[in-house]
Amino acid sequence: MSFELFYEVLVGLLVLTAAAWSVAARDSYSATVGFVSYGLLMTIVWMQLHAVDVALTEAAIGSGLTGLVLLGAAARLRATEARVVTRPPAALRVVAALACAGVAVALAVTVLSLPRPTPSLAGATVAALPATGLGNAVNGVLMAFRAFDTLLEKVVLVLSLVGVWSLAPDLGWTGRPRLRHPFADDGVLGFLARTLPPLGLLFGVHLMWNGAVEPGGAFQGATVLAAMWLLVLMAGLGEVPQVRARWLRVAAVAGPATFLAVGLFGIAIAGAFLAYPEPHAKALILLVEVPMMLTIALVLALLVAGPPEPVEHP
């Protein structure tokens, strides 16, 4: 067995172990820890498959941001969890296990019966890429060839924020999400929140800008920006904005709105919705990506911050 194969099998086994752990863990905190490890191991798998863009997204969103949201949920649930001791009846569990096994078998059969070589549009994508002015085929697919999917994805992101905000109690609408770390005042977190963001800002913008030619892009860059903003908010160096603030609402829809406007503009100037006139394709893509990055960073951070809470009257 070659070293590379041994390594791949080892990582595969670790992924399965982490996945099994996060399903089997008794309390939601342990399950979340398992889930975060699973995400980081999946990052290694994507790197091994040379899918650097996917690896970046998996590390940033799949493991980092989702892990943070789940940790917050686990912390809120902890008080109730100790009292929950009921287990579903055996028959129900057997049915659930059979259903899960059925899905796994169906997936396995589907994957194994795919035609070989796998039909692929990769060649056509790379051939058409020069027309977009981009050098990174993944970004070409996201911003030009499948722009409709990306547009809808951003709309879903805004809708998910609306969903989280809907969980606020009536009086919460006048308040703000609570994010302050319990140790915000003793200086350690404050030091990191003052030292890291300049570097993080540079890195986030670099990821977005560089995404045109190398792995990276607006989503990955925005995640870094969101993390920096969250760090500042948790350290108490800045205040979480009120959810009714006008600028916040405008920034939250700026990305999809610009995308939509450029898309409609495409009907007039290039003959189809979301089509770019060839000589200006890259400029238009950047015009969409900048507000999109703002929207993604803002929405991701606010998803972590959670619903606004009522103002406390001492």
In contact, 163 and 306? CB cutoff 8 Å = no
Shortest distance, CB of residue 187 to other proteins, whole angstroms? 9
Residue 102 to residues 99, 108, 109, 252, Cα–Cα distance (Å)? 5, 10, 11, 41
Which of these segments, 57-65, 193-201, 236-244, 263-271, binds other proteins (CB under 8 A)?
A: 193-201
Distance CA 34, CA 201 (A): 30
Please report, as residue ranges, which positions from 199 to 218 form the binding site for other proteins (by CB under 8 A).
Answer: 199
Applying CB under 8 A, which of residues 19, 192, 205, 253 lies at the interface with other proteins? 192
Nearest CA to 27 out of 70, 65, 68 is that of 70
Shortest distance, CB of residue 203 to other proteins, whole angstroms? 9
Shortest distance, CB of residue 195 to other proteins, whole angstroms? 6
Shortest distance, CB of residue 104 to other proteins, whole angstroms? 32
Interaction pattern, residues 141-180, with other proteins; x per rule: CB under 8 A = ----------------------------------------
By CB under 8 A, tell whether 79 contacts other proteins: no
By CB under 8 A, tell whether 191 contacts other proteins: yes
**Total Cβ atoms within 10 A of residue 262:** 19
Q: Closer to other proteins at the Cβ: 170 or 186?
A: 186
Neighbouring-strand partners of residue 309: 176
Nearest CA to 53 out of 209, 203, 214 is that of 214
- Provide the CB-side half-sphere exposure for 203 (13 A, CA): 12
Q: What are the residues binding other proteins (CB under 8 A)?
A: 181-183, 186, 188-189, 191-192, 195-196, 199
